[in-house]
Chains A and B, each alone.
Chain A
Amino acid sequence: MSKLSREDVLKLAALSKLKLSDEEIGRLQDELGEILDYVNLLDSVDVSGLKPTYQVSGLKNVYREDQPKDYGYETQDLLKNAPATQDGQFKVKRVL
């Protein structure tokens, strides 16, 4: 079974905006390795002449008029789940 390096897991975690404990990092090194080993069975599949399928609805470019529409939502209802708000807007921690 191939195992991911600690550096690989940390790099993925940073890209995913996840902090991980040492225990989680160790476990994911094994588990991700095992799952990638399994999906590697696609390596040997011959797909010559085939194109990828990204969606199966058969629909293409579903357009609508680019106009605002009133769905009847109140700003306060849309903000009620936010951890912090100010002046009717989401408030976040400082960026730097």
Chain B
Amino acid sequence: MDGWPAISEIADDVKAGRLKAVDLVKKSLKAIEENREFDAIISTLQDRALERAVAIDGRPSGRLAGVPFIAKDNFLTLGGKTTAASNILKPFEAPYQASAIERLEAEGAICVAKANLDAFAHGSSTENSDWFVTKNPHDKTRVPGGSSGGSAAAVILNMAPFALGTDTGGSVRLPASFVGAVGVKPTYGRVSRSGVVAMASSTDVIGPITRSAGDAALVLDVMAGKDELDSTTIEKPDSLSDTSFDFSGKKIGIVKEYMQEGLEPGVKSVIEASIEKIKQAGAEVSDVSLPSLPLALAVYYIVCPAEVSSNLSRYDGQRYGYSAAEARNLDESYELSRQQGFGAEAKRRIMIGTYVLSSGYYDAYYKKAQTVRTKIIHEFTDAFSKFDLLIGPTSPTVAFKIGEKTADPLKMYLNDIMTVAANMSGNPAISVPAGLSDGLPVGLQMIAPMGADGPMLAAAKAFEELPK
């Protein structure tokens, strides 16, 4: 199966009648069928996708006319089930669609399938999925990263020109880095989360996974903007996709805390080579220290479970989702439905969240973590008064082996050590393919000032265009 041209070219060809949306959807479905062994996809939306394609071919219009895409299975979509890869939502059929999906469809895009994830997006490998583990397209014995691992693998397996993910602690950037795709975590509030299964509401963002920064910018631009159904959304600047960027004279900070111990030598050398290229392009590159960044993961593992325990309280077996039939009364129905419907990781996070929010521990854990969060934000603000962009690796390692970390939850949590800080602060960040280490992809992470998604995407594009 061949790859896909740039998304803007596909849409132009559909509008000019040179390509048919129906053929594009069929091409997408064929790639999904041919690559089933990778377990990237939970379900297809074949009937609805083909129906939409026929309608679009009749009257092609929009910036994404006829462009197929794949949504992580925590986006509510019509035409099939939305499971969040969890047992408790396995029977769930959404009665309405996520705002992000609606905006993409309004510009002519077609959702063809739902991608695998760690159940409820709790994880960094897809090994917490209640369905199956997605395999890395570069090496089937390795994970694709997570939690948006199915979306990332799908893009590299040419199942669609783009896929959607969600990033609460690194869940778009980490898998993008592990499979060699571009993954964007926009500024907090950039894209409406209405109709997306909530994980940690103070850090959840939606982002595209693509083959190029240009594609990502176009998709993000379509999804971005205020939405009355998500009151945390922020005003969108005129365009996020037509900014230009030249490294010449730009001040780029290498995050010292991300280049220290624990970084695999192979990853380190790819990142150092990237830094050298950026220097050659005329940027003023220097080290910058944000001493509280190593605390971000501990902050995250208090704040995130706290919000998870609250957001998952809605799964009570009464209004939708799995319900334990044998329960004799309402209380037992709650307890048994949740016991049987939630996997080990969801239970772990609910329990930690309940612990750190309970009276007597609230100040010591939750409030303390949110105060350290302020410290991290101050360090970012300070760094961005001196630098246009911060860079470093997306992950300290390349994709790890399936099963390598499943026995130790804390070891699994450490995968997010370099991505979580941007979630705690709200800053936009992106992972861009930087090269290979022993045949496995390495991602370069760029972190930008609040709201500077456009310049960040332009910088990523400029990086892609630097001589190899």
Contact = CB atoms under 8 A, between A and B. Distances in A.
Contacts, number: 165
B460 interface: no
Given A38-B301, A47-B372, A95 B329 contact: yes
Interface of A: 9, 12-13, 15-21, 24, 28, 31-32, 34-36, 38-39, 41-43, 45, 47, 50-59, 62, 64, 71, 73, 77-78, 80-84, 90, 92-96
A96 B329 contact: yes
B334 interface: yes
Nearest to B414: A38
Main secondary structure on chain B at its contact with chain A? helix
Given A39-B301, A57-B232, A28 B351 contact: yes
A44 to B, nearest CB: 10
Contacts of B332: 93
A62 B333 CA distance: 36
Interface residues of B, number: 71
B377 A53 contact: yes
Contacts of A64: 228, 231
B347 A20 contact: yes
A58 B333 CA distance: 40
A56 B327 contact: no
A64 B319 CA distance: 27
Overall SS of chain A's interface: loop
Given A39-B365, A57-B188, A93 B329 contact: yes
B350 A18 contact: yes
A26 to B, nearest CB: 13
Contact of A57 (B189, B317, B365): B189
A35 B73 CA distance: 28
A24 B335 CA distance: 14
B187 to A, nearest CB: 9
A47 B372 CA distance: 7
A57 B335 contact: no
Contact of B96 (A28, A50, A73, A90): A73
* 10 interchain residue pairs of minimum CB distance: A56-B426, A52-B370, A81-B320, A83-B323, A62-B231, A19-B339, A77-B95, A19-B335, A57-B189, A47-B371
Contact of A78 (B95, B321, B329, B371): B95
6 contacts: A18-B351, A19-B338, A50-B375, A51-B374, A53-B370, A56-B377
Contacts of B234: 57-59
Contacts of B202: 54-56
